[in-house]
Structure 1
Amino acid sequence: MRRTTLLALLCLAGMPALAQDQAGPSTDPTQVKPGAYVLDPAHGKITWSLSHLGYSTYYGQITDVAAKATLDPKEPAKSRLTVTVGTDSVNGLNDKLNQHLKTPDFFDTAKFPTATFASTSVEPTSPTTARIVGDLTLKGITKQVALDATFNQAGISPVDKKYTVGFDGRLVLKRSEFGISGFLPILGDEVTLRLEGEFKAAE
């Protein structure tokens, strides 16, 4: 009898966590599980855009993105983010342009194959948004930038059954400040980076 009661109590104690996992995704960032996370490379992209001669806004992507995050929903200021980008993956959706983007006019990928970002502070700006300030190193130049991040949801992904946290982000920078000065000023100096990421709980 005692053994049966003990087993029942243990099962009841585990039910809240089990129910939370089975309840579906949550859009409440305070319910995110704290700990270490790794970006899913298949669902982590950077879309860049800038003015093209003043006639249109040109879009492209960077697809080689690796990132790690430490999330603390109770004290968001203790959260951290590090990102490494393979610059050779820069894509302007045009083969000729892609080759040009890898030259010294732009990313000079042979000399600078990676760019990095390391957060120095995280400041909540609303219940579901935060400003992540950190050091961006691009083309050998390091400057402080600010990334505005939006929390989407967290929960067990129906695809791989892993606990997943999703964010969107937006960062605006001047490429000339990082030595990317090709075709200024007819090509825009201000570049907008839009980031999408699904982070998996580290195993």
Structure 2
Amino acid sequence: MRKTLLVAALLAFAGSAFAAPVSYKLDPNHTNVLASWSHFGFSNPSVGFSQVEGTLVYDADKVSASSVEVSLPINGLWAFSALFNEHLNSADWFDSAQFPTATFKSTKVEAAGKGKLKVTGDLTIRGITKPVVLDATLNKAAEHPLGKRAAIGFNATTTVKRSDFGLAKYVPNVSDEVQIRITTEAMVPKPAQ
């Protein structure tokens, strides 16, 4: 009898935690956004964006009711070299003084197979907004062992053209296409104290 009650309680928790829709806050310590491109065909450098903030709403029963909204501070960009970092933040590139934040806001989420999603949304960089499609994979949805709250994790990829966002310097020698890889972990926020 005790086992039956425990199983029923766990199923009730799982149903309430992950059935429709659950709102999560992105964990900036476990969210990475990496961009890479070809540099004159010699190398494929990468930059990372840190200090990512955002919310993710996931509805396992009705995926189309899911959404994501993310903010990436440009001064959180890291190019693995202080000099290159400064260069990318200059007016020649991201112009972080005038455009301090890049954003992504979903407009549509669709199921794309077991544990797979297509997330369409608006990406804004340097004040220019263009539609982007993320191919996302659900890594895990469960109670986080450290936070003891519902958590979720995704990986996602997309390719964008930097010229679409006013970043066309050296195209085509430095590739116009930029591959973006994202991994994110998010958790239900702590209740207000």
* TM-score between both structures, scaled by the size of structure 1: 0.84
State whether structure 2 residue 121 is matched by structure 1 residue 129.
no
C-alpha deviations, 1:33-83, integer Å up to 9, x for none?
A: 431111011101101100011112111211121110111111101111101
Largest Rg, 1 or 2: 1
Which segments of structure 1 move beyond 3 Å, counting only runs of 4 or more? 19-22, 31-34
Q: CA deviation at 1:157?
A: 2.0
CA RMSD of aligned residues (A): 2.2
State whether structure 2 residue 161 is matched by structure 1 residue 174.
yes
Q: Is the 8 A contact 1:52 1:58 kept in 2?
A: yes
Equivalent position of 1:194 in the other structure: 181
* 2:43 counterpart (56, 62, 72): 56
Q: Is the 8 A contact 1:21 1:155 kept in 2?
A: no
Equivalent position of 1:151 in the other structure: 138
State whether structure 2 residue 86 is matched by structure 1 residue 103.
no
C-alpha deviations, 1:82-122, integer Å up to 9, x for none?
A: 01110111111011100000012210000000011111101
Q: C-alpha distance in 2, partners of 1:44/1:110?
A: 24
Q: C-alpha distance in 1, partners of 2:100/2:186?
A: 24
Between stretches 160-169 and 133-142, larger displacement belongs to 160-169
**As a proportion of its length, which structure holds more strand?**
1
* 2:27 counterpart (40, 65, 72): 40
Equivalent position of 2:55 in the other structure: 68
- Segments of structure 1 that go 5 or more residues without pairing to the other structure are 1-7, 23-30
Equivalent position of 2:79 in the other structure: 92
State whether structure 2 residue 149 is matched by structure 1 residue 162.
yes
* TM-score between both structures, scaled by the size of structure 2: 0.89
Q: Is the 8 A contact 1:133 1:145 kept in 2?
A: yes
Equivalent position of 1:26 in the other structure: none
Distance 1:17 1:101, change over 3 A: farther
Q: What is the DSSP-based 3-state SS (H/G/I as helix, E as strand, rest coil) of the residue aligned with 2:8?
A: helix
How many residues align? The count is: 186
Q: CA deviation at 1:18?
A: 2.8
